[in-house]
Amino acid sequence: MSAIKSFELEQNENYALIDWKESNLNQGNYEDLEQIIRILFKKEYSNIILNISKIEEIDGYGVSTARKGTKICSNENGLFVIVSKKENILERFEQANIENITIFNTVQEGIDAIYLNELENDFSDNEEEDEFGGSENSSDYSDDY
């Protein structure tokens, strides 16, 4: 891991893990998170885990940044996973009503969800290839042309 401002970042082939080090995620520091999410998106990461288990407080700026991360990852068929056990943080995200938000208690649960999501995406891709790209159907059309 490499230390960068308010967080530590771990990157591997399947996901990036942002381990938030500060006790809050708010107007004073949310831009650090937005910046790293943008960088990860440019590096083509569609699976990002945000570990905010150490924070005590999150405001609208922090929630908005999580919403943006969720949308970016969802658009690429990936997951933006938030890790926290704290009730006040979980309630804040629940009130925000973020579509496709994924929240777990541990980083390992988030990693497992990402691998499962990847398997589901691969399975869906294979089904589409079988349905539209199979050699059986292509011979049926060749007689018409």
Q: Could you tell me if 50 and 70 are in contact, meaning their C-beta atoms sit under 8 angstroms apart? A: no
What pairs with residue 42 in β-bridges?
none
Domain boundaries, the chain: 2-132
Do 4 and 16 form a contact (C-beta atoms < 8 A)? Answer: no
pLDDT tier for residue 1 given thresholds of 50, 70 and 90:
very low
Instruction: State which H helix or E strand residue 71 sits in.
Output: helix 60-75
Higher pLDDT, 140 or 125: 125
- Write down the pLDDT at residue 124: 80
Q: What angle do CA 76, 79, 81 make, to 5 degrees?
A: 150
Each residue's pLDDT tens digit, 84-120: 999 999 999 999 999 999 999 999 999 999 999 999 9
For the structural domain made of 2-132, what CATH number should be given? 3.30.750.24
pLDDT for 145 equals: 40
Identify the pLDDT of residue 125. 75
DSSP summary character for residue 85:
-
Give per-residue pLDDT as tens, 30-82: 999 999 999 999 999 999 999 999 999 999 999 999 999 999 999 999 999 99
Tokens of 57: 């407080």
Higher pLDDT, 3 or 97: 97
Mean pLDDT of 126-139: 58
